[in-house]
Chain A
Amino acid sequence: MKTLIIGIIIIVNFILQSTVLKYTSIYNIIPNTSLILVVCFAINSDKKKGALIGFIIGILQDIIFGKILGLNALIYMLMGYLITLANKNIFKENYIIPFLFTVLGTVSYYIFGTFFIYFLGFNMDFFNIFKNMLIMEVLYNAIISIFVYKYVYKIYKPTRNRY
């Protein structure tokens, strides 16, 4: 049941992110809800699932929009795995946790992605990326992640109470 809900959320998020979300852009920046979902699911789930969810979300985005297949999948999978490694030691009710992880996640997503794209021989303007996008998107993502986290936390909560 939980798997089904998570699957539906992933598909719905993907469709909405590429169609409706462009109406919410601030200064040309669209919040990266895929990344937020990976972070929120990873905080709550165990290791295997965190990496798997990251992989699925990433590969979907790559197939439909990517010029390079596998880049998002790789980043999201590692992100999901690394966050789940830490999630035994954190206090899950606290909303500052998804905020912090999303900030870290967005920054590392950019650094890692830019690094890859640069070494694959694409044109890159480092300074402009960081100036125009990073700061704004980090804030935007982090704020939205708090709201997303509330709902993701609810999905996982009942099963935890039972045991």
Chain B
Amino acid sequence: MRKKAVKDKSAMIVTIVAIILIIIIGFTSKQRDEITVVEKWVGNILSPAQKVVNIGATTVGESVYSIFNFSKIARENVKLKEEMENLQEQLVEARLNRDELEELRGLRFALNYLEETTDYEPIAANIVAKSPSNWFDVFTIDVGEDRGITKDSIVLASSGLIGKVYEVGGNWSKVISIIDNNSSVSFQVLRDKNYQGIVSGSITNELSGYLFDPMVEVVVGDKLITSGMGIYPQGIMIGEIIEVSKSSDQLLKTITVEPAVNFKSMNKVLVITPNTR
């Protein structure tokens, strides 16, 4: 008799907790303004530990990789040196252009021209850990409220757009990447800014999207940048078109895009918190 009562008790606890959890799931399925104190503290305690382990793992992983790929790295080195020389030439050219631009800006100021205020403040951050779940493409970085990160800040790598900040903790924040199957970005083709459209991620971590105007000519190899509509500022590299398809029953031209950022091996990111929002 006593045994039966105990059995019922544990079943009841599980049921009650399950119901509470279902309610919590319902409440938290939409994006929240702020996370709870408990969540914040669990993250504050765990993320430094993850950071240490991650740095260790990356160092070991990279040194193992470099031992096994010695010849490949030597080849890459030669190629990079060539590229650097090229870039140096371009740098000189860019410097000249910049001087000219500054002069023109000075002129504009002298003429009391209205200034566009795009004041962004980049903050460097390390990636701490990546979500082991396959449903969402979420990872955490090692800056949070302590460095003034806010919700919807933009996260970049040196080569292009990564995503946006979803939730902020004390010294950590959750980032949701553009290849997550629920995020979408509006783009324009670098070649011609009138060719615009939307790309969104998928469960297979591919970017695919469509163009607003099905008549425009885009080709494989066209580069895409953000168009400035939505939360992302204009002119950030998204990726390169690797496939263009148009079926007769669809009125839209669909494209598949290879992201500029290698999402498998990211370590350092830049976070931009817009001051004016």
Contacts and interface: CB of A to CB of B under 8 A. Distances in A.
Contacts of A67: 29, 136, 138, 166, 176
A30 B53 contact: no
A51 B10 CA distance: 9
B39 A63 contact: yes
Most chain A Cβ neighbours within 10 Å, of B13, B176, B205: B13
B14 A77 contact: yes
B110 interface: no
A33 to B, nearest CB: 8
Interface string A116-130: 110011111100110
Given A15-B53, A68-B25, A122-B182, A132 B138 contact: no
Interface string B62-73: 000000000000
Interface stretch (A16-24, A97-105, A150-158): A16-24
Interface residues of A, number: 53
A92 interface: no
B10 A74 contact: no
B134 interface: yes
B18 interface: yes
A14 to B, nearest CB: 7
Contacts of A23: 57, 61
Interface stretch (B43-51, B89-97, B221-229): B43-51
Nearest to B25: A70
A128 B25 contact: no
A72 interface: yes
Interface string B1-30: 000000100100110011001101110110
A22 B22 CA distance: 30
A30 B132 contact: yes
Nearest to A114: B135
Chain B residues touching A, range: 35 or more
B134 A133 contact: yes
A34 B204 contact: no
Contact of A21 (B17, B132, B135): B132
B174 interface: yes
A41 interface: no
A9 to B, nearest CB: 15
A55 B54 CA distance: 25
A28 B138 CA distance: 15
Contacts of B139: 65
A129 B138 contact: no
A69 B131 CA distance: 14
B86 interface: no
A157 B9 CA distance: 27
Interface in B136-190: 136, 138-140, 166, 174, 176, 181-182
Given A14-B46, A32-B132, A65 B204 contact: no
B203 interface: yes
B133 interface: yes
B25 A74 contact: yes
A146 B138 CA distance: 29
A64 interface: yes
B2 to A, nearest CB: 15
Contacts of B46: 11, 14-15, 60, 64
Given A28-B205, A63-B42, A70 B50 contact: no
A65 B174 contact: yes
Contacts of A15: 46, 49-50, 53, 129
Contacts of A18: 50, 129-132, 140
B17 A19 contact: no
A113 interface: yes
Nearest to A60: B42
Interface string A12-49: 00111111111100001110111000000000000110
A64 B182 contact: no
A55 B136 contact: no
Given A15-B49, A29-B134, 5 more contacts: A23-B57, A63-B42, A64-B42, A64-B47, A128-B204
